[in-house]
Structure 1
Amino acid sequence: MGDVRPPLLWLSGPSGVGKSTIGWEVFALLSRNGVKTAFVDADQISLCHPMPEGMTHRLRARNLAAMWRNFQQEGGRCLVLAGFVHTPEEVREYTTLLPGLRFTVCRLRVESAELKERFLARGWRPELVEHAVAEARALDHSDYADLCVPTGGLTVPEAARLVRERAGGWPGDLPAATLGDAAGRRSRPPADDAPFPVLWVCGATAVGKSTAGYELFTQIYRSGVRAAYVDVKQISALGPGADHRALKARNLAAVWSGHRAMGARCLVVSGEADDTVRGYADRLPGAEITVCRLHAGPETLAERVAQRGRGGGPAIPGDELRGLDADALSRAAGRAAREAEALDRPKVGHLRIDTDGRSVQEVAADVLARSGGWPHLT
């Protein structure tokens, strides 16, 4: 009898090799074919800094295990994970906490020249490109992976198809879905009720929620305060047919529990405008939530929508604007402007921050100043 555990496909490799992009393609293809698949970018579940040395994989493994329980309760049958790993000992951090999953660890590889090209095309931290090349060379001597797949010169769909083929037609035979019962759906990670501050950054499409939220997180932890950051859109990738709003709330609680165990004292969250306190507060005992709504005018929103369509901004897996044609981007910009106007009517949030003509650093500084020096720790 074969192994009937749900399968996990772990795409690893150096920075810029395409782990998240190819992983999302596998996830999207299976979801379109009706397979209830979960996707997790490991970077997104370990944003807790300053991090104790040597604890990154322990935090990621803990948070992934807690999230997988929630994915299963929504009927998830397999999991695609994108994230770096270097040694068999690091892999065991995950397999120990997730014995109910069948792991296939795949290392993606391209030659140095193409890796440099891919890395620089992201437009993020170009000064780290040589580090990525050195990391790739070191990984060529590693033995943690079950297989190595060269993806040089391939399109994203071609690379995803090759990975699945080399992984034995992944996901292969799947166990029957097991939906959680009502008690399971009400469960939440253990947490104390001590108060902690949460800064929730929301706003219309393309207003800059994730960019501003991450900058706020960065400024806070660089001041010496151990802080955590979560983009709720990045912790609820399960398709098709999932209750994503409920999944966001449960996974946010799961990830925060892990961050808090690492000593995080405050939490910055980026979320859609309707993802406010309702539905989250009861999952976060002790949370003192300040909702900050970012605002931008129609011209600014159109510029930011167009930039994301061209591939600018943070490389977020599953960005619905990336690669759209001019007409589709124009329609998206119109929808974003209407969202911003609608949000202004009920005056959503405790703070309204205008972002027109301002850098992300200026926006973050304004948020901190107008919130009276958040996070108000004693």
Structure 2
Amino acid sequence: MLRVHGPRLRVIWICGAAGAGKSVAAWALFEALATAGRRVAYVDIDQLGMLYPAADADLGRHSLKAEALAALAPGYVAAQAQVLVVSGVVDVDTGPGTALAQDVDLTLCLLSPDPAALRERILARGRDEADAEEAVAEDAVLRDATFVDVAIATSGLSVTDTVSRLREFCWVPDHDPDVAVDAGGRWCEVHGQVVCSPSDMDVVVVTGPRAAGSSTIGFGLNMGRWRAGRRTGFVDLQQLGFISERGSRTANETTLAIGQLAVMHNLMSERGAELLVVSGQLAVSDRATLRAALRAAQVTLVRLRADSKTLREHVHSRAEGNQTRLAGDDLLDADQEHQDVVVASALDEQHVLDASAADDAVLEVSGRTATDVIAEVDILNFG
């Protein structure tokens, strides 16, 4: 990777105990910087550590997450990001422990509610008193940690207030667009404009139109393998591609996400994974890029297909908050008009895929339970 004088990427890692408001504040910061015209990227650190069973020496997968962040940083630099917003937990004993390149500057920002507010948030999530006490104890340790650069007492602050405080630390480094950067770093090769993983570890991609259920099915497939003791990695493709367009609120770049996927593929292979399961939307034109990025691997694309009734049910469930909440999900609390737009767009997308993605293994999910579909995907790929 080319070295330049001074930092070229500003990493703002927002950490805290469970219930501290890390994800909400980090996403709001990402949107605020994007709206202000910054070229800003976002990643949830927990999305970088989904490899189970965990190694005995890294049960919390903190080392894996830190290594993944360092490995992905060159890709964000190559994509011209000025700031990378990271949300998620850190190891309370050792801190982030990530060996970022010298042209990447990291600031660790702790969000710290008062103990009573933190306890109330944990209990409101349906957790018990022991979980609440654990969160309060973790917050106390982090407030005294020497590796924390900035601590913000958030009690009494709105999300907007918290973001205003965080923006004080988001100065933007100079960025020379004419300087070439190796997006693959030491982890991957670059052929033409495509970042490529050298690993031959098999990959299963669960895809389909939006709201068909690719995340639910992909993650469920992983859960079954994890319970069976089969070391398997999981990546949500869209979670690797959050980067803003200048002057717009947010965007998701599939080309960036696929390059970062290649990095994660090689990293998880080196960490002993037998298989990588990927979920996410893929346009017809993205399939060739994905196969090129994973050129040494056997890649199986499983495309889910759903009728309008099933898509509407899935969209409504997400709007009601009945599924896992992920960054960038505009369906959360969406009104009926927006839900209808998403369903119509998904049906259009499905029509295009039916006409052009002939090499996919297609599974009809309409009216079926997730358990039933997961079992069929398992049989399809592993016999």
TM-score (norm 1): 0.85
Judged with a 3 Å threshold, the aligned counterparts in structure 2 of structure 1 residues 35 and 300 are, in CA distance, closer, same or farther, namely same
CA deviation after TM superposition for structure 1 residue 362, in Å: 2.1
Which among 229, 234, 238 is matched to residue 239 of structure 2?
234
AA aligned opposite 1:44: Q
Q: Aligned to 1:219, which of 224, 227, 230?
A: 224
- Over 3 Å counting, the alpha-carbon distance change for 1:89 and 1:345 in structure 2 is same
1:212·1:360 contact (CA, 8 Å) conserved in 2?
yes
Aligned residue runs from structure 1 range 259-278, under 5 A: 259-274=268-283, 277-278=287-288
Question: What is the aligned counterpart of 2:327 among 317, 321, 325?
Answer: 317
The aligned counterpart of 2:136 is: 136
Question: What is the 5 A alignment of 1:65-214?
Answer: 65-87=70-92, 89-91=94-96, 93-94=97-98, 96-111=99-114, 114-115=117-118, 118-119=121-122, 126=126, 130-131=130-131, 133-142=133-142, 143=145, 144-152=147-155, 154-164=157-167, 169-178=168-177, 181=180, 184=182, 189-190=187-188, 195-214=200-219
Distance between the aligned counterparts of 1:39 and 1:351, measured in 2?
32
AA in 2 matched with 1:131 = D
Q: Distance in 1 between matches of 2:129 and 2:72?
A: 32
Structure 1 distance, partners of 2:252, 2:28, is: 21
Offset at 1:326? 2.0
Following the alignment from structure 1 to structure 2, what is the Cα–Cα distance between the partners of residues 128 and 337?
Answer: 42
Q: Offset of 1:266 from its aligned partner?
A: 0.7
- Give, as a single letter, the amino acid of the residue that structure 2 aligns with 1:317: A
Q: CA deviation at 1:273?
A: 3.4
1:289 to 274, 278, 299: 299
Q: How far apart, in 1, do the equivalents of 2:8 and 2:200 lie?
A: 39
Q: Aligned-pair distance for 1:62?
A: 1.9
How many equivalent residue pairs?
362
Aligned residues of 2:238 and 2:252 also touching (Cα < 8 A): no
Matched letter for residue 151 of structure 1: T
Change (3 A) 1:348 1:323: farther
Distance 1:258 1:347, change over 3 A: closer
TM-aligned CA deviation for residue 8 of structure 1? 1.7
How far apart in 1 are the matches of 2:70 and 2:184? 17
Task: Identify if the C-alpha distance between structure 1 residues 177 and 309 changes in structure 2 by more than 3 Å, giving closer, same or farther.
Answer: farther
Aligned residues of 2:83 and 2:172 also touching (Cα < 8 A): no
* Cα distance in 2, alignment partners of residues 128 and 268 from structure 1: 33
Q: Would you say the 8 A contact 1:57–1:90 is kept in 2?
A: no
- 2:309 aligns with 299
Identical aligned pairs, as a percentage? 27
Using a 3 Å threshold, how does the CA distance of structure 1 residues 297 and 105 change in structure 2: closer, same or farther? same
**1:328 aligned onto 2:331:** no
- Select the residue among 62, 75, 95 that pairs with 1:57: 62
Conserved? CA contact 2:188–2:262, under 8 Å? no
Per the alignment, residue 308 of structure 1 pairs with 318
TM-score (norm 2): 0.84
Whole-Å Cα distance in 2 between the matches of residues 4 and 119 of structure 1?
38
Where 1:267 maps in the other structure, the secondary structure is: strand
The code of the aligned residue for 2:235 comes to V
* Separation of aligned partners in 2, 1:310 and 1:177: 44
Work out which of the residue numbers 337, 351, 357 in structure 1 matches 2:367: 357
Query: Which has the higher mean CA deviation after the structures are superposed, 227-236 or 269-278?
Result: 269-278
Q: Give the SS at the match of 2:141.
A: coil
**What runs of 5+ residues in structure 2 fail to find an aligned partner?**
190-196
Give yes or no for contact 1:188–1:254 (8 Å, CA) kept in 2. Answer: no
Task: Work out whether 1:246 is the aligned partner of 2:230.
Answer: no
Structure 1 residues 215, 118: closer, same or farther in 2, change over 3 A? farther
